[in-house]
Structure 1
Amino acid sequence: MSASNSYKEPKQFEKEEQKLDLPDDEPALVKLFLQFLYEMDYHIPKKEPGSEPATLCLEIVWGNDQLERRVRRNLDEGLAKLNDKAMGRTADIAQGHRSYLLPDENNSVAIDSSELDISIIFELTTLINDPGSSNGPPVYRPDLDVGLMIYAKVYCVAEKYNIKALKELAVENLTYELPHVMVLFTNNEIFDVIDYIFSNSLDTKGCEMRRLLASEVYGCLKIFGMKSRIEEKMKQYPDLALLNVQETFGD
C-alpha cells in the first residue's frame, strides 16, 4: 500500500478557509480535544484527595415544599456567602433538629427543603443576617468546583469542526454535572458558561447546549423567581429569553 493511500488528511477538521486553530493559551482544551480524537472520550482531572473543607457544609436540596420564593432566595444566597465558621454552624443547626442527618463523602449535610420548618429557617436566617457570618471569604466547596467552563469550550470546538459525537459528549457531561453544583443564583461559573455558549455557539434552533442552559434557568426561575442577574442575561441574550418562553408555553 502506497503512502498516499495509507494516510488520508483529516479533511473533516479543515475547511478551505478554516484550519484547526485551537488556541495556544488553552493547552488543557487542546489535550481534551486530541484525547477525544484518539479515544472517543475525554476525562476531566478530578480534585486532589484531601481537598474537602475542614468543616461540615449544609446543602439544601430544593424540591417540593411550601416555602415562598423569597425565603428560598434568601436562604440559598445567604448560605453561599457564609465563611468557614458560620457554615459549620449551619450543619449544627440542621443536625440539631434532624439528628438522623449524616455527612456525605463531600463533607456535606444535605437536607430536603420540605424538611425546613419555621424553627430551622429562623435559626439559619439569624445566622445569615449576622454580619460576622460573612466576614472574610466564603467557605470553599471543592465538590462544587467541577470546571463547568471546559464543557462549554469543548462543545464550541466540536461545533466549529462539526464533530457530532464530541458535541453530544460535552452536553452529556454538563447535564451530569449541573445537579451536583449550587443552583444558578449562587454559582458564578454557570453565568460564565451562559456568556460563553450564547456568545460563541452557533445561533441555531438545534443548539443542544443552549437548550440545556435555558432549561436550567427555567428550573431555577420556578424555584426562586426572577433575579436581577437572570433578567440581565435574558436582555443580553434574547435567545435565552425565547427558549424560556418555549419551555413555559411549548406544549
Structure 2
Amino acid sequence: MDSPTIELMSALASMFESGKYSDLTIICGDKRYSVHRALLASRSTFFDGACRNPFRESETGVIDLTEDDPEAVEHMVHYFYHLDYLSKPLSRSSSLRSSGARSPRFSRRAPKKVNFALVEDPLLAMASAAGSAMPMTPPEEQANQFDALDASAKLPETPTADQFTEDPFDAVTAEPEADVERPHLITHAKVYAIAEKYGISGLKSLARKKFTHQIEAHINSDELPEACQEAYESTVDTDRGLRDVIIQTFRSHPDLSLRKDVELAVRETPGLAFELFRMASGLPVTS
C-alpha cells in the first residue's frame, strides 16, 4: 500500500475515531455510531435512500438498526471507514510511518538496554565510544547485563515480515492474536447478510471472499454447521453467494456428511438438505 493510500485510509479512520464532522448517528442496542452521510450514502443503496428522501431518518439524523445483529452492524460500520473488518484498524501512526516518521507515543519497540563496555565486539565498542544514542546499563545492573535484553531483541534465523514492511493496518488497540486463528465463519455469514440487506456490494463481496477462504482452511471447525445454517436462513434462495460455496465444500469433502453436528444442522435446514439431496442425485442444485 503506497503512502497516499495509507494517508487517506488513516484520515478516514481518524474521522471515525474522533467523530469529527459527523452528521448521522446509527443506533444498535446500547451502541451509538457517529458517522458521515456522504460516506455511507455513496456506498450503500439503503443509506442513500434514507438520507436523500424525506424519511424520519433524514430529518432526525438518527437511524435505528436495533433489530439487526449487533456484531454485524459493528463490522458494517467498521468497513465504511477501513474497507475491511475483523482486521487491525488503521491509526494515525500508520500515516506517520508512511512518511518516514515514527510516532513516539505508539512506538512499536522500546530501546533495549545494552552495556557496550561488557560486549567483546570492536564495532560495538567503537559505536559506544562515538556516543551511541542507546542508553547504557547502570553500574548496578552490570552483573546481570544479559537479563536486561528482552527476548524479542534476538533476531530469528529466518527474517519475518516485520523486518521488511510495516503493516498499514497496525492498531493502537490491535485484535488479540488468539482471534487471528479463529474461523469466524458465522460472523462472515452475518456480515454477508447485512451487506445484502443494506445494499453494500463491496462488503458483500469481501464477506464472501473471507467466508470462502475460512471454510476451506477450517473445514473441521465446530462453527461450520451453524455457519451453514446462518447462510441459508439469512439469505434468499436466489442469492447463491454463500450457498454455492457451501455446496461446493460438501462436494469436495463428502465425509462432512458423516459428522453428527453437520447431520443435525442439515436436518434443521430444509434449504440446505434439499440442495444436498439434488447434488447427491446428480441433479442441478438450482432449478
TM-score by length of 2: 0.41
- The structure with the largest helix share of the pair is 1
Greater RCO between the two (CA within 8 Å, min separation 6)?
1
Q: Larger radius of gyration, structure 1 or 2?
A: 2
